Amino acid sequence: MNPSDTTLSDSPSGRPVLLQGWRPWVIAGAALLGLFFWFRGGKKAAAPSAAGRPVPVAVAVARKGDMAVQLSGLGTVAALNSVTVKSRVDGQLVRVAFTEGQMVRQGDLLAEIDPRPFQVQLMQAEGQFAKDQAAHQNALADLRRVQSLVQQGIVSRQQLDTQTAAVAQFEAALKADQAQVESAKLNLTYSRITAPISGRVGLRQVDAGNMVRASDASGLATIAPVQPINVVFAVPADHIQKVMGQNAKAGKLPVEAWDRDLRTRIAAGALAAIDNQVDPATGTVRLKALFANEDRALFPNQFVNARLLVDTLRGVVIIPTAAVQRSPQGAFVYIVTADSTVELRPIETQGTDGDDTAVGKGLSGGETVVTDGLEKLRPGSKVALPKPAGSKG
């Protein structure tokens, strides 16, 4: 055994104790213990530096003014009434008198069906009417002769009654013939298909030369009025009482139609009707607004964002909606103080309009609120404000 790896020492009992390799183990343990305390000490020293580093945030200044309270909802443009133009008689379509997308007025000619079969039917009905009319005249003459003979006692009373009944039969036949004549005239009129309402004509469904029938489901085309036009949209049922109250007090509430991105206003109108029930599936109530649509910017079945002006808040403090935070105790904001630290401030909101929120209590105009970087803040946190535009460094 190597003397450098083994030593002998005396124990209290006088017996020798063998110690093997004590020097390497002691050195390694001391090194590990030193590293442990160095790591903990370095971490603790770095903690105050991280805690004291300012948090970069975005801010906005609360302003005082008037804010509109609006309700928004996805809406669908709907024509006041839409008509599918159909033929009322069977026949061959010989002429189409409209252009697809054309604006037409009520009574304008749209198409024409071959009128010749209906002209023939009219001639037949008029011929039958003339024939029965002649027979009726003859029966009347016979009736007058029989009446004279009865007075002279030459013929019996029974012959008079028979001739009177014959005259009544011819009169009934004339009424039926007259009805046939009027029906043939009506069918001849129906061979000219006219616009039942004013509006924009859709795409043509049938070309000239085809046979059309009154039972065809698709019809020739559709006509939809576009001036004026409706927009049907829904709002949460929680706001319906306020909408009804404002509508009764202020008259027709203004409604605006915006595009899908809420960037461009398409048209302006007014609230026309409120539905009589809440949709249990969505918890909303449907509203209908009427638009003059003078520039024809709204099309039937077009999707728009409807914005209903319910009220206008006067002289309130307005801040960006992004600055408002929620907690179990209510809404709050972070205020930037003069020493660039933040203070938690409870507030009461009165309404929201898009990116703006009206504050009723807890905030004054001119105070600076944090709008971005809120997740890293605590009361008293140091913040780094953005540099003004155009500044250097």
Inform me whether the pLDDT recorded for 3 exceeds 50: no
pLDDT of res. 386: 81
Least confident piece of the model among 9-13, 122-126, 148-152:
9-13
Least confident piece of the model among 68-82, 237-251, 263-277:
237-251
Inform me whether the pLDDT recorded for 8 exceeds 50: no
Domain covering 87-221, topology: OB fold (Dihydrolipoamide Acetyltransferase, E2P) (2.40.50)
Please state the pTM of the whole predicted model: 0.63
Inform me whether the pLDDT recorded for 140 exceeds 80: yes
Residue pLDDT, tens place only, 108-126:
999 999 999 999 999 999 9
Inform me whether the pLDDT recorded for 40 exceeds 70: no
| 70-80+224-313 belongs to CATH 2.102.10.10 | no
β-bridge partners, 224:
200
pLDDT of res. 68: 86
SS3 letters for the chain? CCCCCEEEEECCCCCEEEEECHHHHHHHHHHHHHHHHHHHHHHHHHHHHHHCCCEECEEEECEEEEEEEEEEEEEEEECCCCEEECCCCCEEEEEECCCCCCEECCCCEEEEECCHHHHHHHHHHHHHHHHHHHHHHHHHHHHHHHHHHHHHCCCCHHHHHHHHHHHHHHHHHHHHHHHHHHHHHHHHHHCEEECCCCEEECCCCCCCCCEECCCCCCCCEEEECCCCEEEEEEEEHHHHHHHHHHHHHHCCCEEEEECCCCCCEEEEEEEEEECCCCECCCCEEEEEEEECCCCCCCCCCCEEEEEEEEEEEEEEEEEEHHHCEEECCEEEEEEECCCCEEEEEECEEEEEECCEEEEEECCCCCCEEEEECHHHCCCCCEEECCCCCCCCC
371 band by pLDDT with thresholds 50, 70 and 90: very high
156 band by pLDDT with thresholds 50, 70 and 90: confident
pLDDT of res. 7: 42
Least confident piece of the model among 26-30, 235-239, 389-393:
389-393
Each domain of the chain, given as residue ranges in start order, spans 55-67+314-384, 70-80+224-313, 87-221
Residue pLDDT, tens place only, 186-232:
999 999 999 999 999 999 999 999 999 999 988 999 999 999 999 99
pLDDT of res. 204: 93
Average pLDDT value over all residues in the chain = 85
385 band by pLDDT with thresholds 50, 70 and 90: confident
249 band by pLDDT with thresholds 50, 70 and 90: confident
Domain at 55-67+314-384: CATH architecture? Beta Barrel (2.40)
For the beta carbon of residue 284, count every other beta carbon within 10 angstroms. 19
